[in-house]
Structure 1
Amino acid sequence: MLKEYDPVSVKLSGSYIPMTDLEGSSESDDEFNVVSAERRPIHSRKEEEESILGTSPVGTEKWRNLFAYWMLGLTNNFAYVIMLSAAHDILSKDFHGGGDDPGNGTASNGSNPRDCNTMSTGTILLADIIPSLIIKAIVPFITFGSHHQRITVVVIACSISFILVGAAVNEVMAIIGVACASLSSGLGEVTFLPYTSNFHRNTVSAWSSGTGGAGVFGALSYAGLTAIGLTPRATVFSMLVVPIIMSLNFWVVLEHPRGKRCCSRNHSYSQELQLEHLESSLTLKEKFRYVPRLLKFMIPLGIVYIGEYLINQGLMELVYFPSLSWLDHHEQYRWYQVIYQVGVMISRSSVHCFQIHHIWITSVLQWVNVILFLSTAITAWIGSIWVVFILIIWEGLLGGAAYVNTFYRIAMEVPQSHKHFAMSITTLADTTGIAIAGVIAIPVHNLICDLPL
């Protein structure tokens, strides 16, 4: 029995037999084994698959599609990043008090010597992740709507999120807006990322790099615009251009596979349709049975994200340097977010230069960071903000590396017939990790804030 197979056809006796004719022969150790056959070199089989997916030239992807996917990654995560960057401001009394300086000045939130908000930014994290978690838990198993219909919902939800948060008169209204951003980001990821299975695998790295770019540009635009005097409300409203950019890239720039007449002169249109059938023919039972095989990707990624977001939304706001004259507490938090996102973008764009085959290594290193941030949040043993900046960028590098290498390994190792589902369900791992981090962050924030300095 052969472990590797051509996802389109197997060469037998000089002719090509569709894989669907071979299905059902065995469901023992590996559902995807096929009978012994004279096989072509693996590189030629990959080239055939890539040509059937419509890439041109073979083995590459058109620049317009790579650019479109980079921009889709950027715009899909933008609202999510903005809400986390604005979390400290949203929970500040000034944001809803009607003043002209909500978080731009030196306003403090209470008499606690640690300058804590009443609620942890973990509250915003939960609002920014729970709707996404629900979407990612349901959509991979029960698909609804076409890709175009789903993206329409993504664009509308993204727009509503910026409007509600910008116009918020209380915390509840703002949190509902944050939840809309979560719904938009979650549905977008579970739609855009599996859709990469219709293109060359390089679109995965383009998407990942774009999501890293969302972190940098989102956090930097929020911190920068508020730093030059724009209020947080006005800054959020200015982000309404983001869903417009997303729409243009999905419906105008991206060349959708169904728009192609034929993939190659050597392959019939029926073969193209057959490949699409292989991607969507899994039954609900088959999907559930395949999930355990994906745990080697999902568990390490989830552990990395628990540690990462426990730092970002539970501990980072408590690492505060009151002696700094050039950055107040709000501004320190905003620039922490920028620096973290720089690390994420660098590592999410690095898969073609440096690959990590054992994702669990990033899990261990990320939890070393948790210990460092927890200890300094309690005892303030780190005396320089520059040391914190270095730790934050390192944290971002680990998180981004775990993400891009996980999905790149899936793109390389999972059979084409299961790749769409694998991409979709694995997004649940990081979202679950973030949700767990949000739940942990709230009591950790409250316990530390009750401690004396």
Structure 2
Amino acid sequence: MTTDDSADLSNVEGPSGQVEPRKDAIEQSRLLFKLGLSFFLFGLINNVLYVIILSAALDLVPPSTPKGIIAFCNIAPAFVAKVGWPYFLKGRIRYVKRLVGCCLLSVLGMIVVAGFESLYMRLLGIGIASFSSGLGELTFLQLSTVYHPPSVGGHSVGYFASGTGAAGLVGAFLWWELRNLGVKTGVGISAMLPFVIPVTFFCVLPKPDMFSSFSMALHPDIIVSSPSEYTALPSNDPSSNTEQEDDEEETPESQASQLPPSKLHVSLSPADKWRLVRPLMLKYMLPLFCVYTFEYTINQGIAPTLVYPVPNSSEHPILSSIIKSVRDYYPLWQLVYQATVFLSRSSISFGLPPLPARLLSLPAIVQAVILLFLATESGLGIFPDNAEGLAIGVVFLMISFEGVCGGLAYVNVFYRLNQDRVSSHTDDPSRSLHEQQQLERQIREFRIGSIGFADSSGILLASILAVPTEVALCRAQIRRGKTLCGSL
């Protein structure tokens, strides 16, 4: 919960203008805690299988099979889900059906991975789990838009991002503990994790209408904007009613008694979606795409070549206790990266202010500088051969900054988009208030879902760039007499 949120909770005014009893503020704090916990678990469980599969890559495929095929099968189906659902499907989101479907797909995918030793069947299982993870991430981000006031929706986004960051650490740790049981048992046990999502959704997550009396303000630098193609709705803001219409639990029959059946179903046209997406491309999509392209090129193409002689225990007692062979460098870089991603993705849930909108591209710029620096250090060698302690320390800092940039880009892009509200068309006099409410809800859901493919496409591009990058850097090291990467 942010400092602003806490201040609002302690000064909640009732209808008469008087400060409500403290117990009401405590109840609101309890609801926010349950909301934050729910979205944290959504992010954690949705992404943890992705990390487990990557961590288990060496155990899932034969030694002769390139491990990059695991990374590709683990991201390509998620990319398809993030493009397909918001852009090609119409109408309201059926959250219960979608979340239950994602849960079952994830379980099925992991069971296929655990139950078959065939490479093709395991890749099929990984693809099924990946599709479910991509659709799940899209769904939870869209679910955050049905919570009002906007600061409550931002609260849910912050904790969801924190959960996705924690998935990197939890997934790697879980597979470290489960791998001794073998692929069949270890992956089979992890197949039970997705059931946490429907349990959390039905038993922990507060209903959107429970927050209808909140008077929490936005961060002062958040500006609610609206593209010129859309105008604001009349004074009675439908957002307070929209949350109450949980997609799976509302009863259309009750609306049918008030509205003609033909007016109960509205959806965004392809033209509407294009008008909504166009302003998002440079502001949100491009920074997210660039950050992930640079980030995963570093992780998959450059980090494996950042190897140095094993530190001497007399000169570097701390480093020598961590790094005992040249094969320990890459896991160390990944641990540093995952830890800093978690911390930076948790920045908003920790109470830190979001990045100003004008600085959303800053993480991508810094990430590009980090990529160039690390590529230069790997290929040409910035530090002398007898200064491996200094080199390791600087690379440690650069990898930390890389994780920070990636995490900040993710949480701030989706937080800002959650707060950046637009309204639906009102120039059609035949459109009922219910239609306007449904259309505005679909606009919010589509906008935050429409940019989800930007990070996945960046990862896909990086997976293509990483292989030749790693090979070229290793060859450059060998040409200057540093042959460590060739022994891995």
Q: Select between 319-328 and 361-370 the one with higher mean Cα deviation.
A: 319-328
Q: Select between 80-89 and 392-401 the one with higher mean Cα deviation.
A: 80-89
Separation in structure 1 between the aligned mates of residue 421 and residue 238 of structure 2, nearest angstrom: 24
Deviations 1:258-307 (A, max 9, x none): xx599569x99996159969997433321111111111111111100100
Q: Select between 443-452 and 208-217 the one with higher mean Cα deviation.
A: 443-452
What pairs up with 1:96-115 in 2 under 5 angstroms?
none
Quickly say closer, same or farther: Cα 1:182–1:380, change in 2 above 3 A. Answer: farther
The one-letter code matched in structure 2 to 1:317 is: P
Quickly say closer, same or farther: Cα 1:362–1:269, change in 2 above 3 A. Answer: closer
Q: Does 1:146 align with 2:94?
A: yes
Quickly say closer, same or farther: Cα 1:234–1:335, change in 2 above 3 A. Answer: farther
Q: Does 1:192 align with 2:156?
A: no
**1:185 positional shift:** 1.1
Deviations 1:366-389 (A, max 9, x none): 112212332344456673555443
Q: Does 1:372 align with 2:373?
A: yes
What pairs up with 1:167-316 in 2 under 5 angstroms?
167=115, 169-199=117-147, 200-201=152-153, 202-223=155-176, 226=179, 229-231=180-182, 234-257=185-208, 263=212, 272-273=241-242, 281-295=267-281, 296-316=283-303
Deviations 1:302-334 (A, max 9, x none): 100100111122222333456378555665444
Residue number among 399, 402, 420 corresponding to 2:409 in the alignment: 402
Separation in structure 2 between the aligned mates of residue 305 and residue 449 of structure 1, nearest angstrom: 23
The one-letter code matched in structure 1 to 2:354 is: Q
What pairs up with 1:296-445 in 2 under 5 angstroms?
296-321=283-308, 323=310, 327=324, 332-351=329-348, 352-357=351-356, 358-378=359-379, 383-384=388-389, 385-415=392-422, 417=440, 418-445=443-470
Kept in 1, the 8 Å contact 2:142–2:448? The answer is yes
Kept in 1, the 8 Å contact 2:310–2:326? The answer is no
Quickly say closer, same or farther: Cα 1:179–1:449, change in 2 above 3 A. Answer: farther
The one-letter code matched in structure 2 to 1:311 is: I
The one-letter code matched in structure 2 to 1:353 is: L
Kept in 1, the 8 Å contact 2:48–2:167? The answer is yes
**1:209 positional shift:** 1.0
Q: Does 1:162 align with 2:149?
A: no
**1:225 positional shift:** 5.0
* % same residue: 30
**1:140 positional shift:** 0.7
Separation in structure 2 between the aligned mates of residue 66 and residue 278 of structure 1, nearest angstrom: 32
Q: Which residue of 2 aligns with 1:128?
A: 74
Kept in 2, the 8 Å contact 1:195–1:420? The answer is yes
**1:338 positional shift:** 2.7
The one-letter code matched in structure 1 to 2:162 is: S
SS in 2 for 1:139: helix
Q: Which residue of 2 aligns with 1:64?
A: 34
Q: Select between 412-421 and 319-328 the one with higher mean Cα deviation.
A: 319-328
Kept in 1, the 8 Å contact 2:102–2:132? The answer is yes
Quickly say closer, same or farther: Cα 1:367–1:271, change in 2 above 3 A. Answer: closer
Separation in structure 2 between the aligned mates of residue 391 and residue 181 of structure 1, nearest angstrom: 32
Separation in structure 1 between the aligned mates of residue 122 and residue 371 of structure 2, nearest angstrom: 29
Deviations 1:176-208 (A, max 9, x none): 232222111100011111111111221111111
Kept in 1, the 8 Å contact 2:142–2:449? The answer is yes
Q: How many residues align?
A: 372
Kept in 2, the 8 Å contact 1:89–1:330? The answer is no
Q: Which residue of 1 aligns with 2:47?
A: 77
The one-letter code matched in structure 1 to 2:310 is: S
Q: Select between 273-282 and 181-190 the one with higher mean Cα deviation.
A: 273-282
**1:58 positional shift:** 7.6
Separation in structure 1 between the aligned mates of residue 473 and residue 210 of structure 2, nearest angstrom: 62
Q: CA RMSD in A?
A: 3.6
Kept in 2, the 8 Å contact 1:161–1:179? The answer is yes
Separation in structure 1 between the aligned mates of residue 106 and residue 362 of structure 2, nearest angstrom: 35
SS in 2 for 1:129: helix
Quickly say closer, same or farther: Cα 1:293–1:175, change in 2 above 3 A. Answer: same
Separation in structure 1 between the aligned mates of residue 125 and residue 32 of structure 2, nearest angstrom: 36
Separation in structure 1 between the aligned mates of residue 309 and residue 136 of structure 2, nearest angstrom: 39
SS in 2 for 1:254: coil
Kept in 2, the 8 Å contact 1:319–1:380? The answer is no
Deviations 1:72-115 (A, max 9, x none): 0110111112222333554562xxxxxxxxxxxxxxxxxxxxxx
TM-score (norm 1): 0.71
Separation in structure 2 between the aligned mates of residue 57 and residue 298 of structure 1, nearest angstrom: 37
Quickly say closer, same or farther: Cα 1:362–1:261, change in 2 above 3 A. Answer: closer
Quickly say closer, same or farther: Cα 1:160–1:321, change in 2 above 3 A. Answer: farther
Deviations 1:127-170 (A, max 9, x none): 11111111111111233762122112211222233333344535
Kept in 1, the 8 Å contact 2:298–2:371? The answer is yes
Kept in 1, the 8 Å contact 2:86–2:450? The answer is yes
Separation in structure 1 between the aligned mates of residue 267 and residue 29 of structure 2, nearest angstrom: 25
SS in 2 for 1:414: coil
SS in 2 for 1:298: helix
Q: Which residue of 1 aligns with 2:486?
A: none
Kept in 2, the 8 Å contact 1:126–1:439? The answer is no
The one-letter code matched in structure 1 to 2:422 is: P
Kept in 1, the 8 Å contact 2:144–2:156? The answer is yes
